[in-house]
Chains A and B, each alone.
Chain A
């Protein structure tokens, strides 16, 4: 029979706290988030994109300033100065920096105001989508059993719905508007997120730290939100940044199909839709709103890519049915 292992072995730093704190005077608590943030800051493309995003946000916030600098209201129709004698839009000039649209309105000012709509819908609808997706995914994955069976089936149903068709139909029934657009997008796009979160939770709930929490008497809600959620948050953040541009495109698409905000509110999809019939004569009419939209989605996507690289989870398709 062997003797019990020797008692005092000081090979662990913690065994002698005072020594260790001397050796390592500054105790920096570098969280995984800080680490990811640092990686992100080193990604030049991501930083450029972040700058573009900030610029667009500033454009949206200071849209009234743009209007006062140019002296043109967003919905003001300048029939004399803004339209050619044949009633066609005017090309960019000192008066109208980015030209005018078919009603003689200043395109620059309308783009600035349109940015408000795109960003607002992009952020709010994404927040709604992510909230529903995370809660459903957590509940289905952690609670399991009947809850999971039902929720998994609901996820299947939502994923099988032809999204764009139903979104258009719903908006046409309930009326076009900011709130309805946000609700429709939120109601039909959470399923991918829920599926991703559920998958993660299914493996996380078998981990011992969840068992430890249960052994301490933690409630299901506490385990789901305090113990499991932080572990899926990296993925959630990545998909959130990638979801924002998708939502912006969906909103623009709805507007393009005539289901945007009621006239004369400026929004990018609607502007491009109006420009459709003028692309042969007035290139600026479709180009500038199109560029604004493209710059925004591209910046968000590239930034999202950077975020993903920083966190480095696996990528999956989030784009079911968005395109077409």
Chain B
């Protein structure tokens, strides 16, 4: 167990290190005109040089990289180019938004996806199965931004026009400021994200549930005279959930690193939106910081998934 954690942490660190190398190479080696745009239109070459020196851009690439890694190991991801704000602070400020979005949506899509998947599997081939599968595939095919816009059009615009201004057009209110407003602002983004992602879970749950329900021990449980609901939920679902948990960890890990499209559509200043803005401004330290954080989220999620695997399925040995 300890050996497993050590090994995975080491491999995770290796992955992150490779990612920093890649990102660094791509962003810092390619020519950019950050200094020029920062210095203003009328800047003399001297001013530009001065700005470059202040940002450390005049150093050789390898030195910039070493400095970055050394600082990153001390928990310092540098400062943004425009306001000299520490990147860690920017991430910390944006993280709650992304996390509340991701976690809230996760609860929704798990409820939706797993329930639909179980119903589809138990009533396999029925009308309900077909309807649910089609429903899932419909939203699976839906581009996130399109669904977001549709929800905004009907549930914000049309509802507001008809005199029910329940849903706001976007934005974010911290939970600590006003829990009610927070919820009000989160509902549409949650639903958007959950609907788009639930399909994968419906399919996954349906597939593995069908496999599990065909197993001998399910027949044994039935022949013991257990209620069907108990057979399905207690005996079936537990083993059927393993692939679902894997996918859940991967998705949540990806989302915590930034929910780019949803945040953009609903103008929520989470990690994804912050990253997009930073990319548009070529604010390299912010981009690098967020990419690194997002990758770390994925790596950690993968380790957690393997641990969860071992707990759900006693046959899995960690190595």
Interface residues of A (CB under 8 A from B): 153, 156-157, 159-166, 168-170, 172-174, 245, 249, 252-253, 256-258, 269, 272-273, 275-276, 279-280, 283, 286, 290, 293-294, 297-298, 300-302, 305, 314-317, 319-321, 323-324
Whether the pair B141, A319 counts as a contact (CB closer than 8 A) is no
Expressed in whole angstroms, the minimum distance between the Cβ of A212 and any Cβ of chain B is 32
Separation of A245 and B264 alpha carbons in the complex (Å): 22
Least Cβ distance of A21 to chain B in Å? 42
Residues in B whose Cβ lies below 8 Å from that of A302: 137
Once the chains bind, are A162 and B30 in contact (CB under 8 Å)? no
B143's partner among A156, A174, A252, A317 (CB-CB below 8 A) is: A252
CB-based contact B290/A165 at 8 Å: yes
Cα separation A163 to B254 with both chains bound (whole Å): 9
Contact with A along B266-281 (1 / 0, CB 8 A): 0000001001100110
| Pair B254/A297 contact, Cβ less than 8 Å | no
Point out the residue from B137, B152, B262, B294 that lies within 8 Å of A301, measured CB to CB: B137
Q: Chain A at the B interface: mostly helix, strand, loop or mixed? A: helix
- Write out, one digit per residue, whether chain B residues 23-46 have a CB within 8 A of any chain A CB (1) or not (0): 100110010100000000000000
Check A160/B260 contact, CB under 8 A, given A298-B138, A301-B137. no
Which of the listed residues B140, B150, B204, B299 has the most CB atoms from chain A within 10 Å of its own CB? B140
* A317 in contact with B247 given A169-B27, A279-B157, A324-B272 (CB within 8 Å): yes
> Which residue of A has the minimal Cβ distance to B17?
A157
Q: How far is the CB of B95 from chain A (nearest CB, A)?
A: 14
- In the assembled complex, the Cα of A163 lies from the Cα of B295 at a distance in Å of 10
Closest chain A residue, CB of each to CB of B134? A302
Complex contact A253–B295 (CB within 8 A) = no
**A161, A283, A293: the one within 8 Å of B19 (CB):** A161
Whether B115 is near chain A, meaning CB under 8 Å from some CB there, is no
For A279, what are the chain B residues with a Cβ–Cβ distance below 8 Å? 149, 152-153, 157
Max count, chain A CB within 10 A of own CB: residue among B157, B250, B279: B279
B144 at the interface (CB under 8 A from A): yes
Q: Which of B68-76, B77-85, B192-200 contacts A (4 or more CB under 8 A)?
A: B192-200
Nearest CB of chain B from residue A15's CB, rounded to whole Å: 40
Report the bound CA distance from A273 to B26 in whole Å: 27
On whether the beta carbons of A301 and B141 are closer than 8 Å, the reply is yes
Task: Give me 7 other A-B pairs in contact (C-beta within 8 A), A157-B15, A257-B260, A298-B138 excluded.
Answer: A160-B302, A164-B261, A164-B272, A169-B27, A173-B26, A320-B251, A324-B255
Is B193 in contact with A324, judged by CB distance below 8 angstroms?
Answer: yes
CA distance A324 to B144 in the complex (A): 7
B11 at the interface (CB under 8 A from A): yes
Chain A residue contacts of B23, Cβ below 8 A:
166, 169
Residues of A within 8 A of B26 (CB): 169-170, 173
A164-B261, A166-B23, A279-B152 in contact; A298/B250 too (CB < 8 A)?
Answer: no
Q: Which residues of A contact B159 (CB under 8 A)?
A: none
